[in-house]
């Protein structure tokens, strides 16, 4: 989270274009969640739909051998799979139906806590309205106009579909001699320089050079030396390993 620390200028600063949703915890910490948009949710739903079809198909083939008993069981299964599949997975598998799991999503409450029985039941019952009048029309409209992409069921149940946190790997900082910067850095400048050093492994060499040369003048070095200088400052900020 880079807060804007630029000096006030005449032109107003627009808030960053950002879909992150901040949950403020009772401890006074802001936890950023990343709500998932329409497309990825539609894909997750398509996967779930296919999977449900497959389950029902296999069950019916199996139950056909059981005759009358099978028909009764089949009705119960159809009921269970069509109304309870999502609820059971969401509550018992940490907010993830198989489709959501595949697409890296999960359902949480508005305050970032795991989704419970009543909320999950509610959001999945109201799916019926989201599907009206055809093919998730109302749900899609609601999802597209809402800042955190909620469909009607999410609005009523107070739930949110977010991207799951992926495990992070420690980035390798480039080797450099620690340097003390020539002037005091603001917090966001400090974070930017550290970010530049941490992300260098993912950037091409020419892009690294291009980014660093923007800062060549304030750092009072030649553009080709700027990369090494910035890495040095980052090393200095980080401290001895």
Partner 1 sequence: MKQSLFEQRHKAEWEQFSLMLDQLEHGKGASRTGDFPKDYRRLCQHLALAQERGYSSFLIDTLQQLVLRGHQQLYRHRSRLGANVAGFILAGFPRLVREQWRFVLAAGLMFFGSLIGFALLVYLFPDLVYNLIPAEQVGELQSMYDPVAGHLGRTTERAASEDWVMFGYYIMHNIGIAFQTFASGLLLGLGSAFFLLFNGLMIGAVAGHLTHVGYGQTFWSFVIGHGAFELTAIALAGAAGLQLGWALIAPGRLPRAEALRLAAGKSVLLICGVMLFLLIAAFIEAYWSSMTAPKPMTKYLVGAALWGLVAMYLLFAGRARHAPE
The residues that touch partner 1, with contacts defined as CB under 8 A, are 1, 23, 25-29, 31-33, 67-69, 71-76, 78-79, 83, 94, 108-109, 111-114, 116-119, 121-122, 125-129, 132, 152, 155-158, 165, 168, 170-171, 185, 187-188, 190-191, 194-195, 197-198, 237-241
**Closer to partner 1 at the Cβ: 50 or 128?**
128
Smallest gap from residue 111 Cβ to partner 1 (A): 7
**Closer to partner 1 at the Cβ: 33 or 212?**
33
Smallest gap from residue 60 Cβ to partner 1 (A): 13
Compute the distance between CA of residue 111 and CA of residue 148 in angstroms, rounded to an integer: 13
The length of the chain is 241
Smallest gap from residue 97 Cβ to partner 1 (A): 18
**Closer to partner 1 at the Cβ: 103 or 152?**
152
**Closer to partner 1 at the Cβ: 16 or 25?**
25
Angle between helices 85-92 and 38-64 (to 10 degrees): 110
Compute the distance between CA of residue 117 and CA of residue 109 in angstroms, rounded to an integer: 11
In contact, 107 and 95? CB cutoff 8 Å: yes
Q: Which two tokens stand for residue 27?
A: 């401890």
Quote the DSSP letter at residue 223.
G
In contact, 3 and 16? CB cutoff 8 Å: no
In contact, 45 and 85? CB cutoff 8 Å: no
Smallest gap from residue 172 Cβ to partner 1 (A): 11
**Closer to partner 1 at the Cβ: 79 or 224?**
79
Smallest gap from residue 26 Cβ to partner 1 (A): 8
In contact, 123 and 117? CB cutoff 8 Å: no
- The phi and psi torsions of 112 (rounded to 5 degrees) equal 85, 0
**Closer to partner 1 at the Cβ: 15 or 28?**
28
């Amino acid at each position: 989270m880079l807060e804007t620390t630029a000096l006030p200028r005449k032109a107003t600063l627009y808030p960053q274009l950002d879909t992150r949703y901040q949950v403020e915890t009772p401890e006074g910490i802001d936890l950023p969640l990343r709500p998932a948009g329409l497309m990825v949710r539609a894909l997750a739903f398509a996967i779930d739909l296919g999977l449900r079809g497959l389950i029902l198909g296999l069950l019916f083939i199996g139950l056909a051998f059981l005759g009358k008993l099978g028909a009764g069981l089949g009705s119960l299964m159809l009921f269970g799979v069509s109304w309870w599949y999502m609820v059971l997975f969401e509550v018992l598998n940490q907010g993830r139906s198989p489709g959501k799991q595949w697409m890296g999503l999960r359902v949480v409450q508005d305050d970032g806590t795991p989704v419970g029985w009543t909320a999950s039941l509610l959001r999945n019952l109201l799916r019926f309205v989201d599907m009206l009048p055809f093919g998730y029309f109302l749900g899609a409209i609601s999802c597209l106009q809402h800042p955190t992409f909620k469909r009607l069921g999410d609005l009523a149940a107070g739930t949110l579909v977010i991207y799951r946190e992926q495990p992070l790997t420690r980035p390798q900082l480039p080797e450099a001699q620690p340097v003390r910067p020539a002037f005091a850095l603001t917090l966001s400048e400090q974070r930017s320089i550290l970010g530049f050093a941490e992300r260098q492994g993912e950037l091409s060499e020419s892009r690294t050079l291009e980014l660093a040369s923007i800062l060549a003048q304030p750092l009072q070095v030649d553009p080709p030396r700027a990369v090494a200088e910035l890495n040095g400052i980052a090393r200095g900020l980080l401290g001895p390993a």
